[in-house]
A and B are shown apart, each in its own frame.
Chain A
């Protein structure tokens, strides 16, 4: 654990206790089983807003507390442990980061206070295929008079059904495959021409596919530079990758704790199964992966706060290393629990399903290995 300030320690302890008591995995399970269209509980979200978490990255002038990414990561980790469903990551980290990095004063004034008070849910609409490939963006925005007309498709949009605003990456010049020619737009979810369809993903969260047909927005909807949106989009994505890595660390660490607990209590052949060396060594290897993942995630969060120049390397490193840990851990969670791990009544399946969705979000391990090699110059 990084050396935390007193305030960070307080928030971490608060998040740990709150997630366990008020938003535990059992309440996520109940929501899933209710077959409700809601992907998160309104009271969960309003409690987060009341605790100030929705404004944790936002400057004080817009009602936030500006406590930084490490603090935000500490909360996301605890939510990841309990599989707590909320728009905190999508809107308060990704959406708010995009507005802070790319927005002009008018855009920030219009949306940041609403992100903080929870009335606006701002999410990124980027992926178009089954792969995370930002530069392959094909969705088009044609200039018409002083506005734009957006047409195209988006998928795997987190909080896509509950969002009030989309940050849409669209092509204003060049062709799919070019990093140049991509622009970001702020588009209200209710705009005419947007059709949204819920995706029934394995993790029972809110993901949507979006279809844009001649969606008209004003010129003021452009977030950041026209045609040259990629550099700032990459910065936003790095923050998203690091934030989701913190959540993944929590999910995997909880799976580790559940497994370790089982190793110490389950008896077979007249012994506690944790006394078998084949299992003890696997637990040791997983623990080492956990420690290394934590080092990468914390270094990445701290690098963002310090505005270090190696944030991109650390983002890919963190997403990749914690991705490896979560992959191994979610499989061992099932395997070591044996038959009980296969039952829906036990929580292992919820963690396994969420693990794969998180892995595919904002670039999987293959994507980040490739990116890391690029960043290292080979």
Chain B
């Protein structure tokens, strides 16, 4: 990659990022501001990025991408961060750019790609995923939602849960049972369907951390087009395995959540105080904090090493995604627990007022972070993957 490319990307961002948007907080559903001017600036920014193909920069141009390499895409995202903003398209597309899209690129027909990918890449169509069910969480293959083909239409019945953003999405990728007589994993298919139809009802779920993007989603004779089956009929399990690999990768690449850029040890100094020699007065916390910081460094060095290896063609990155997903979880949850303990009784407030925004944010993030070891294949499922797929230990006896 040439230096010229970096310069031209930097110049483009400088010329095209609307001034009114610099530093504005962008959440997963768009810009957080009531100001119409900021909203307009945000929409302009989205359109300009989409026109460049930078919503999904590594996808082919014909599907709304820019045909860039991973390294070039990183240059683009760094340039946007450096300019004080965010690329909102991967958020606006929900599960589209990060998970459904990459899977569609591998399994989709040319018609499916042409119909679905450009909407994701421009951030105009938000996707959710209907995977988990009340009785199919970690054991996803025991799902029960059915789909039957009625001439040109699939008819879906059943209930999904933990469908993130279902109430705000236009499309859904759903895992459904299409053959009840087959063994658990062999009778499943992956369908794509529109959310705005009479057969679909969504109900938001309130979580231990308060409001959440999650919903329960009910299918009552919901309909999908016959040609919106992704991959082969009854081969949905291989489609979903690939999709979940994309999910794990997108999670391990994400930076650890943090309330503030302030290093943990500085927060600790602020709350706990230091001795004359500058060491934390709480020596037990000091020791555990050092342990945590070292675990964090080890995790980050492992990401760096695996990326270097992958470039050298040494390993299959997906084989190590489970290791990184679990260590990312350990690091993030460990950090939240330490922060809460550092804040003491000030780290126990539910609403601001008597508690600072930093403190209540820490509490919510601590609670929300408990999900990290549950979603995307639980902590235990990752350990199963490591022991079987990487270490080659024999399958644990299980039904189905």
Residue ranges of A at the interface with B (Cβ–Cβ < 8 Å): 1-3, 260, 263-264, 271-272, 274-277, 279-281, 283-285, 287-288, 291-296, 298-299, 313, 316-317, 320-321, 366, 369-370, 372-374, 376-378
7 contacts between A and B (CB under 8 A): A2-B305, A2-B308, A296-B297, A299-B304, A369-B294, A378-B280, A378-B286
- The count of chain B contact residues (Cβ–Cβ below 8 Å) is 47
Contact B390 A287 (CB under 8 A): yes
A377 interface neighbour in B265, B291, B302, Cβ under 8 Å: B265
Contact B305 A264 (CB under 8 A): no
Contact B305 A372 (CB under 8 A): no
B394 interface neighbour in A264, A284, A378, Cβ under 8 Å: A264
Is B396 in contact with chain A by the CB < 8 A criterion? yes
Within the complex, what minimum Cβ distance (angstroms) separates B255 from chain A?
18
A292 to B327, CA, bound (A): 9
Is B151 in contact with chain A by the CB < 8 A criterion? no
Contact A274 B290 (CB under 8 A): no
A316 to B392, CA, bound (A): 33
Contact A287 B290 (CB under 8 A): no
Interface string of B71-85 (1 = CB under 8 A from A): 000000000000000
Residue ranges of B at the interface with A (Cβ–Cβ < 8 Å): 265-266, 268-269, 274, 278-280, 286-287, 289-291, 293-295, 297-299, 301-302, 304-305, 308-309, 311-312, 314, 320, 323, 326-327, 380, 382-384, 386-388, 390-397
Chain B residue numbers with a CB within 8 Å of A260 are: 391, 393
Within the complex, what minimum Cβ distance (angstroms) separates B326 from chain A?
6
Contact B327 A274 (CB under 8 A): no
Within the complex, what minimum Cβ distance (angstroms) separates B298 from chain A?
4
Given contacts A3-B309, A283-B391, A378-B278, A288 and B297 within 8 Å (CB-CB) = no
A39 to B80, CA, bound (A): 61
Contact A372 B383 (CB under 8 A): no
B294 interface neighbour in A275, A281, A317, Cβ under 8 Å: A317
Contact A372 B286 (CB under 8 A): no
B269 interface neighbour in A1, A283, A369, A378, Cβ under 8 Å: A378
Chain B residue numbers with a CB within 8 Å of A281 are: 380, 383-384, 387
Contact B289 A378 (CB under 8 A): yes
Chain A residue numbers with a CB within 8 Å of B387 are: 274, 280-281, 283-284
A293 and chain B: residue at smallest CB distance: B298
B392 and chain A: residue at smallest CB distance: A264
Contact A376 B265 (CB under 8 A): yes
A175 to B295, CA, bound (A): 36
Contact A296 B301 (CB under 8 A): yes
Contact A378 B327 (CB under 8 A): no
Contact B396 A276 (CB under 8 A): yes
Contact B298 A292 (CB under 8 A): yes
A256 and chain B: residue at smallest CB distance: B391
B286 interface neighbour in A2, A279, A292, A373, Cβ under 8 Å: A373
B302 and chain A: residue at smallest CB distance: A295
A295 to B295, CA, bound (A): 11
Chain A residue numbers with a CB within 8 Å of B279 are: 373-374, 378
A172 to B273, CA, bound (A): 37
**Beyond A373-B287, A378-B268, 15 additional pairs, beta carbon < 8 A:** A2-B308, A280-B384, A284-B387, A292-B301, A293-B298, A299-B304, A317-B297, A321-B295, A369-B287, A369-B294, A372-B290, A377-B265, A378-B265, A378-B266, A378-B274
Chain B residue numbers with a CB within 8 Å of A3 are: 308-309, 311-312, 314
Contact A274 B265 (CB under 8 A): no
Contact A284 B391 (CB under 8 A): yes
A317 to B291, CA, bound (A): 9
A275 and chain B: residue at smallest CB distance: B394
Chain B residue numbers with a CB within 8 Å of A2 are: 305, 308
Contact B323 A288 (CB under 8 A): yes
Chain B residue numbers with a CB within 8 Å of A272 are: 394
Given contacts A280-B396, A291-B302, A294-B305, A370 and B287 within 8 Å (CB-CB) = yes
Contact A376 B301 (CB under 8 A): no
Given contacts A281-B387, A298-B305, A291 and B320 within 8 Å (CB-CB) = yes
A300 and chain B: residue at smallest CB distance: B301
A-B residue pairs, 8 tightest by C-beta: A280-B387, A284-B386, A295-B301, A274-B393, A292-B298, A284-B383, A378-B265, A295-B302
Within the complex, what minimum Cβ distance (angstroms) separates A289 from chain B?
9
Chain A residue numbers with a CB within 8 Å of B295 are: 292, 321
B293, B297, B312 interface centre (most CB from chain A within 10 Å):
B297
A265 to B378, CA, bound (A): 28
Contact A292 B302 (CB under 8 A): yes
A321 to B382, CA, bound (A): 22
Within the complex, what minimum Cβ distance (angstroms) separates B302 from chain A?
4
Within the complex, what minimum Cβ distance (angstroms) separates A313 from chain B?
8
Chain A residue numbers with a CB within 8 Å of B308 are: 2-3
Chain B residue numbers with a CB within 8 Å of A264 are: 392-394
Chain A residue numbers with a CB within 8 Å of B290 are: 369-370, 372-373, 376
B301 and chain A: residue at smallest CB distance: A295
Chain A residue numbers with a CB within 8 Å of B286 are: 373, 378
Within the complex, what minimum Cβ distance (angstroms) separates B272 from chain A?
10
Chain A residue numbers with a CB within 8 Å of B278 are: 377-378
A317 to B396, CA, bound (A): 36
Chain A residue numbers with a CB within 8 Å of B294 are: 316-317, 320-321, 369, 372
Given contacts A280-B393, A295-B301, A287 and B386 within 8 Å (CB-CB) = yes
Contact A277 B395 (CB under 8 A): no
B289, B299, B391, B393 interface centre (most CB from chain A within 10 Å):
B393
Chain A residue numbers with a CB within 8 Å of B297 are: 296, 313, 317
